[in-house]
Amino acid sequence: MSEDEYARRGIDLDKPNAARVYDYILGGQLNYAVDRMFAEQVLAAQPNARERARLNRQWLRRAIRFGMDQGIRQFLDIGSGMPTVGHVHEVAQAVDPKARVVYVDNEPVAVAHSEIVLEDNENAAMVHADAEFPDDVLEHDITEMMLDLDQPVMVVMALFVHFIPDERDPARLIATYRDALAPGSYLALSSATYEQQSDGTARAVAMYQKSANPVTPRSADELRALVDGFEIVDPGIVFIPEWRPDDPAEMPPNPAECGGLALVARKD
């Protein structure tokens, strides 16, 4: 692809992109040299970054299965990133092939590859939009075609909200999505945190401040404030591997080393 084509598609190769860096850390191929170089620097500061990414993907799958158990058959994945094994539609449609999933991202590579992956899936689709503008997401033709907002939906924000600093008012953003949802809907959210973290986390966060996607880690209390208007379900806001593990015997010795907190909350 030429430099002109990169520019036409809105792909900035001057700075690493969080979605592509995450893809590389997970072992994917949808990334560029600038992303790989940055990811290796993150891995040097935080050697367990790959394990952290894996634990978050496992939590996401557990959260989707929980939603299915509650009768949810519609999912809106905000900041979905690159298509990987165990994506939301794979988990949901393994239970019910008619489950509908809408992915949302503004990273052109993530969008392009997601469209390819979903090409033959009539119950899953990709929306190219900036999730910080909820109307652009909720009123998008694809969203309106795929999801019935008069019925319960699970909104997924996996490692998304920590890319929104306080000055951009993440609480208002989440409230806007909340207000568009029917009662009985859910929010599944995970976020980086400083709670019980080592110096490696601080170094990695400092690196991200120089990327296209600076990170704002948050405490459990800060996340609780962001989801006001939702009722947080058990076990509450916990370190990612502690959220309803499939096998408690496989819990990491120190769950805090995952570097993130997770929650699922219900709109009554």
**Rounded distance between C-alpha atoms, residue 180 and residue 20, angstroms:** 30
pLDDT of the chain, 268 residues: tens digit per residue: 444 444 444 555 677 877 788 788 888 877 788 889 988 988 888 788 888 888 999 999 999 999 999 999 999 999 998 777 679 999 999 999 999 999 999 988 889 888 988 999 999 999 999 999 999 999 999 999 999 999 999 999 999 999 999 999 999 999 999 999 999 999 999 999 999 987 777 777 777 776 667 889 999 999 999 999 999 999 999 999 999 999 888 788 899 989 999 999 999 9
Residue 205 lies inside a defined structural domain of this protein: no
Q: Please give the pLDDT value at position 1.
A: 41
Q: Is residue 68 part of a domain?
A: yes
Is 44 among the domain residues?
no
Q: Are 260 and 192 in contact (CB under 8 A)?
A: yes
Alpha-carbon distance of 190 to 130, in angstroms, equals 19
The predicted structure's pLDDT at residue 38 = 84
Q: How far apart are CA 261 and CA 97, in angstroms?
A: 30
73 in a domain, yes or no?
yes
Structure tokens at 86: 């165990």
Instruction: Please say whether the beta carbons of 228 and 263 come within 8 A.
Output: no
Long-range Cβ contacts of 27-35 (<8 Å, 24+ apart): 28/82, 28/84, 30/82, 30/109, 30/110, 30/113, 31/109
The answer as to whether 6 is a domain residue is: no
Residue 9 lies in a domain: no
pLDDT score recorded for residue 3: 41
Tally the domains of the chain: 1
H/E element, 57? helix 49-69
Please give, one letter per residue, the 3-state secondary structure of 172-223. HHHHHHHHHCCCCCEEEEEEECCCCCCHHHHHHHHHHCCCCCCCCCCCHHHH
Specify the CATH number for the domain of residue 146: 3.40.50.150
184 in a domain, yes or no?
A: yes
Q: How far apart are the first and last CA of the chain?
A: 49
Quote the CA–CA distance of 154 and 187 in Å, as a whole number: 6
Task: Decide if 43 is inside a domain.
Answer: no
In terms of residue numbers, what domain contains 81?
A: 49-197+212-265
Name the pTM for this structure: 0.87
Distance, CA of 108 to CA of 140 (rounded, Å):
17
